[in-house]
Amino acid sequence: MKHTIILLLILGIGLYANCQQRMAADDPDKLKQVLLNYFDGIGSRDTKKMIQATTDDFLVYEEGKVWNNDSVFKEMKRLPYRTANFKFDNFSIEVDARSGNMSYIEQAQFVINDTTIFNLNFLGSAAFRKIEGVWKISFLHSTDKYVQKK
């Protein structure tokens, strides 16, 4: 009886350790890449790339409005930019096996008619979920006119 209890205890500890390994944090760079893919899609007007990077219930909070991919796509059609380039700095990322979140500073440069260039600065945050083994953005929030403290 004593040996059975010890054996069960060892098996229980082994199962617990195995479960902990499966729930280990994922690589934060995977989340960064999903974010970069989404914004590359905006820059090149590639809506398929944007859809691939997001969950079905994806939302964006920006400019006091709630957006989804469809409303973002409509806004992209309305805006006359030829290209948009994005740079990101100051990432802070937390990730586990199934979800993650990040904050970052984003600099955007929009080119209109090959001559007019305007720059915007944003403070952004994002939430991610792993769906069927693939990381996707479920939520973005950005605040424009960000001015970095000196």
**Three-class SS of residue 149?**
coil
What is the amino acid identity at position 20?
Answer: Q
Structure tokens at 90: 């100051």
Please give the torsion angle defined by the CA atoms of residues 110, 114, 116 and 117, in that order, rounded to the nearest 10 degrees.
30
* pTM, full prediction: 0.79
Q: pLDDT tens, 72-122?
A: 999 889 888 888 899 999 999 999 999 999 999 999 998 888 787 888 899
Q: What is the pLDDT of residue 30?
A: 94
Euclidean distance between CA atoms 115 and 112, whole angstroms: 6
Query: Does pLDDT of 135 surpass 60?
Result: yes
Is the torsion defined by CA of 66, 68, 74, 76 positive or negative? positive
Q: Which domains does the chain have, with CATH numbers?
A: 25-144 (3.10.450.50)
